Amino acid sequence: MVLALRAASVVAFLLLWEWAARVPISFAFPSPGATLAALVALVRSGALPAATLISLQSLLLGFGAAVLIGVPLGLVMGVVRPVGRVGRVYLDLLIALPTAALVPLVILSFGINVLSSAVIVFVFSAPFVIMNAYGGVRDVRPRLVEMARAFDASWGQLFTRIVLPSALPMILAGIRYALSRAFVGLIVAELLLSPFGLGRLIMSSRSMFEHDRMFATVLWTLLFAGTALAAVARVEARLLRWRA
Amino acid sequence: MAAREPGAAAGTAAPLPITVEAVSKAFGAVQALVDVDVRVRAGEFLSLIGPSGCGKTTLLKIMAGLVPADRGRVTIGERVVTGPGQECSVVFQDFALLPWATAQRNVEFGLLLRGVDPAARAARARGAIAKVGLGGFENAYPAQLSGGMQQRVGLARALAVNPRVLLMDEPFASIDEQTRRVFQDDLLGLWSQERKTVVLVTHSMEEAIYLSDRVVVLSPRPGRVHQTLDVPLPRPREAGDVRATAEFARLVDGLWKVLRKLQ
């Protein structure tokens, strides 16, 4: 049932797209066929794989740092209340602000390179990792802590045996959401500044009026992000099997 | 770490007496307990009962070392209670099971915290699970078990560390009546096999009379010991038809008369 519905939705989407290309909305609007052909050509020429590889560097660097720094930071904020109270303010600001406004600042500070894209990816994604790790700790059932204390658990045991596993579902949900934000940050960074990566390919195709190539790159980016998100969701489901 | 393990030779830990002397406790402006004195004999089954808000759960938590008393002193065996101790196990009303762990892993939890090695842990947990009648459910998660079964896991977890004192906070309150009666009989059966000092907090008069050697009645806020009743029903009670006897009805009625005046 779900499978049939999914297939139907894809078909409907492609039909809608084909129709939109024929209307035409504008002379520049590429048809599904032209986009697919451009996609194949871009993969064959090596332009798309090369751009993907560069984007992947920024993504892994920025998102990896967001997870590696964000999770411990959020946990500390959750466990040490004063740190949490202070940190929350910055977190709320980072989440509420239009983060793209920080891009020029980052370029000024780091220059135009893979590192600055990575920094932007980090700024986009880290707040959500931190926020969820923090929230996960805050949501630990006090009764479970009491139970472990009744067994004379040490502080370290409380943390590793109760707090961490209790917070894990929220931490993982935060990581998954942060990954989608990381993709947004990546493309924003590359659209705005960098002479490389997928965003660059989108911009250069646009400026050359190669709209089928532009669309193909956008489609490729969506597939890339979708696959990465699905992979993370899979890991999440595996780690949280007990909830099924 | 092995030295920390209580009753290393499982099943030999002798029950300990508990002495509560002049214990008082306030939460902010609310005086929960005032000058409470209770002496629980080694191997005795004692119930704490009283109107809600009389501080009976607080008293149990003070015995468990989970809540510090403002004044007074609790002694378990030779140890003056200043925090949780290894000779005690607690059974909670809401079971307090780890939702991410199987029944087996939940029962192993206390042993894990005490540094028992994995093989011994698994064996002792399996033994405890069998004892409470849950054999075959080792790999079930709490969410897959009924309330009664979850509390059996909670009891197995408490027993697995071979405690000398068992503190139970309304353990049957969240379990339906039929399940509760069977569970109570099983608890009495277990208790007759391995004597432990048991303190049970309950609001059920029938439960208090059926299970206990003595019932301590606490008065409402601030909680004080109002009266202590002996329950001279012969044991074992679980095999016979004690609940249907005139003596049982008389004792429950006597307890009710005491409690009614406190409302």
Position A113: which residue type? N
Q: Of the candidates A174, A178, A196, which has an alpha carbon nearest to the alpha carbon of residue A187?
A: A196
Give mean pLDDT, residues B15-36. Answer: 93
A153 touching B (Cβ < 8 Å): yes
Bridge partners (DSSP) listed for residue B46: B199, B214
Structure confidence by residue, pLDDT tens digits, B180-196 = 999 999 999 999 988 89
**So what's the pLDDT on residue B10?**
47
Q: How many CB atoms lie within 10 A of CB B241?
A: 8
Residue B149 has, within 13 A of its CA and on its CB side, a CA count of 17
Bridge partners (DSSP) listed for residue B19: B39, B75
Domain ranges of chain A: 47-239
Q: Which two tokens stand for residue B134?
A: 């849950």
Q: How many CB atoms lie within 10 A of CB A29?
A: 16
Instruction: Please give the CATH topology (third level) of the domain spanning A47-239.
Output: MetI-like fold (1.10.3720)
**So what's the pLDDT on residue B3?**
40
Greatest Cα-to-Cα distance within chain B, rounded to the nearest angstrom: 54
Nearest CA in chain A to B141: A242
Structure confidence by residue, pLDDT tens digits, B236-255 = 888 878 889 999 999 999 99
Q: Tell if the CB–CB gap between A149 and B96 is shorter than 8 Å.
A: no
Q: Which residues of chain A have pLDDT under 50?
A: none
Query: In the block, which residue shows the tokens 């409380």?
Result: A158
**Average pLDDT along chain B:** 91
Q: Tell if the CB–CB gap between A147 and B143 is shorter than 8 Å.
A: no
Give mean pLDDT, residues B115-128. Answer: 95
Q: Which residues from chain B sit within 8 angstroms of residue A165, using beta carbons?
A: 98, 100
**So what's the pLDDT on residue B2?**
40
Q: Which residues from chain A sit within 8 angstroms of residue B86, using beta carbons?
A: 152
Q: Of the candidates A17, A15, A129, A160, which has an alpha carbon nearest to the alpha carbon of residue A63?
A: A129
Q: Of the candidates B153, B146, B164, which has an alpha carbon nearest to the alpha carbon of residue B125?
A: B153
Shortest CB distance from A147 goes to which of B65, B88, B92? B92
**So what's the pLDDT on residue A244?**
65
Q: Which residues from chain A sit within 8 angstroms of residue B115, using beta carbons?
A: none
Q: Tell if the CB–CB gap between B96 and A144 is shorter than 8 Å.
A: yes
Residue A97 near residue A153 (C-beta atoms within 8 A): no
Query: Angle of helix A197-207 relative to helix A211-239, nearest 10 degrees?
Result: 160
**So what's the pLDDT on residue B263?**
74
In the predicted structure, residue B41 carries a pLDDT above the cut 60:
yes
Structure confidence by residue, pLDDT tens digits, B152-182 = 999 999 999 999 999 999 999 989 988 999 9
Distance in angstroms (rounded) separating the CA atoms of residues B154 and B142 = 10
**Average pLDDT along chain A:** 90
Q: Which residues from chain B sit within 8 angstroms of residue A158, using beta carbons?
A: none
| Chain B contact probe: residue of A144, A149, A152 with most B CBs at under 10 A | A152
Q: Which of residues 203-242 of B touch A (CB under 8 A)?
A: none
Give mean pLDDT, residues B38-50. Answer: 95
Q: For the structural domain made of B18-87+166-263, what CATH number should be given?
A: 3.40.50.300
In the predicted structure, residue B4 carries a pLDDT above the cut 60:
no
Distance in angstroms (rounded) separating the CA atoms of residues A45 and A164 = 47
Number of H helices, E strands in chain B: 7, 10
With a CB cutoff of 8 Å and minimum separation 6, the contacts of B254 are: B229
φ and ψ at B114, to 5 degrees? -95, 10
CA B188 → CA A71, B7, B179, distances in Å? 47, 22, 14
**So what's the pLDDT on residue A17?**
84
A242 touching B (Cβ < 8 Å): yes
Give mean pLDDT, residues B37-62. Answer: 93
Q: How many CB atoms lie within 10 A of CB B78?
A: 7
Q: Tell if the CB–CB gap between A143 and B143 is shorter than 8 Å.
A: no
A145 touching B (Cβ < 8 Å): no
Q: Angle at the Cα of B146 (from B144 to B147), degrees rounded to 5?
A: 125
Distance in angstroms (rounded) separating the CA atoms of residues B196 and B165 = 6
CA B70 → CA B36, B74, B97, B234, distances in Å? 12, 11, 30, 39
Burial of B164 (0-12, 13-18, 19+ CB in 10 A): buried
B110 touching A (Cβ < 8 Å): yes
Q: Tell if the CB–CB gap between A242 and B88 is shorter than 8 Å.
A: no
How sure is the predictor about B8, in pLDDT bands with cuts at 50, 70 and 90?
very low
Q: Angle at the Cα of A155 (from A152 to A158), degrees rounded to 5?
A: 75
Beta strands in A61-163 (DSSP E): none
Nearest CA in chain B to A157: B113
B103 Cα to chain A: minimum distance (Å) = 12
**So what's the pLDDT on residue B12?**
55
**So what's the pLDDT on residue A201?**
84
**So what's the pLDDT on residue A208?**
78
User: Minimum mean pLDDT among B21-25, B155-159, B232-236: which range?
Assistant: B232-236
**So what's the pLDDT on residue A94?**
85
Q: Of the candidates B63, B93, B55, which has an alpha carbon nearest to the alpha carbon of residue B171?
A: B93
**What contacts 24+ positions apart, CB below 8 Å, involve A91-95?**
A91/A127, A91/A130, A91/A131, A91/A134, A94/A123, A94/A126, A94/A127, A95/A127, A95/A128, A95/A131
Give mean pLDDT, residues B13-26. Answer: 93
Residue A239 near residue A164 (C-beta atoms within 8 A): no
Cβ pairs A/B, distance under 8 A: 52
Query: In the block, which residue shows the tokens 């399940």?
Result: B179
Residue B35 has, within 13 A of its CA and on its CB side, a CA count of 1
B90 touching A (Cβ < 8 Å): yes
Q: Angle at the Cα of B180 (from B177 to B186), degrees rounded to 5?
A: 150
Q: How many CB atoms lie within 10 A of CB A217?
A: 28
Q: Tell if the CB–CB gap between A165 and B100 is shorter than 8 Å.
A: yes
Nearest CA in chain B to A152: B84
Q: Of the candidates B101, B121, B180, which has an alpha carbon nearest to the alpha carbon of residue B148?
A: B180
- Percent over 90 (pLDDT), chain B: 78
Q: Which two tokens stand for residue B51?
A: 């109107």
**So what's the pLDDT on residue B222?**
86
**So what's the pLDDT on residue A196?**
77
Q: How many CB atoms lie within 10 A of CB B206?
A: 18
